[in-house]
Amino acid sequence: MSSTPQKPSNAIKWFDPRWRQMGSWAFILNRITALGLTLYLFLHLGILSQLAQGPDAYDGFLATIHSPVFIFGEFLVVSAGIIHGLNGIRIALNSFGIAVPYQKQLFAGLMALAILGSLIFAVRMFTA
């Protein structure tokens, strides 16, 4: 009997965060934020379609969006938009051959800006 460990499947490897380079983290972060923003788009369209049902539906909608779950969800959507947008700028610059040797530094700097922007949004949103 062989004592060599079995290799994990490709699906499991994709979720394994160990031994990842910064480019892989940038790619994964971009895909996750894109999926989240796409999900939000469909939820947003579904909620807007309910508003066409009249004033009572609108009043119910206003009561729902003031719940803590929706407020935190709004924070996540804005943060995902900031992260995805700034990461997209890095990808566009790379595609045009700008700052290619400095991708790691550019990613780190833009993600620091994303965190700062998210924190500023959170402070303004949760203290208002």
In tens, the pLDDT along 34-82 reads: 999 999 999 888 888 877 888 888 888 888 888 888 889 999 999 999 9
d(CA 38, CA 30): 12
Q: Which of 45, 49, 37 is nearest to 74 (CA)?
A: 37
Predicted local confidence at residue 8, as pLDDT? 60
Helix (H, G, I), strand (E, B) or coil at 6: coil
> Residue 15 above 90 pLDDT?
no
> Residue 123 above 90 pLDDT?
yes
Q: ∠ CA 59-63-68 to the nearest 5 degrees?
A: 160
Residue 28, judged by CB atoms within 10 A of its CB (0-12, 13-18, 19+), counts as middle
Helix (H, G, I), strand (E, B) or coil at 34: helix
CATH ID of 23-126, from 1.20.1300.10, 3.40.50.720, 3.40.50.2000, 3.20.20.100: 1.20.1300.10
Q: Distances in Å between the alpha carbon of 23 and those of 56, 64, 102, 106? A: 49, 39, 12, 11
Average pLDDT over residues 106-112: 95
> Residue 96 above 60 pLDDT?
yes
Cα torsion for 113, 34, 22, 9, to the nearest 10°? 160
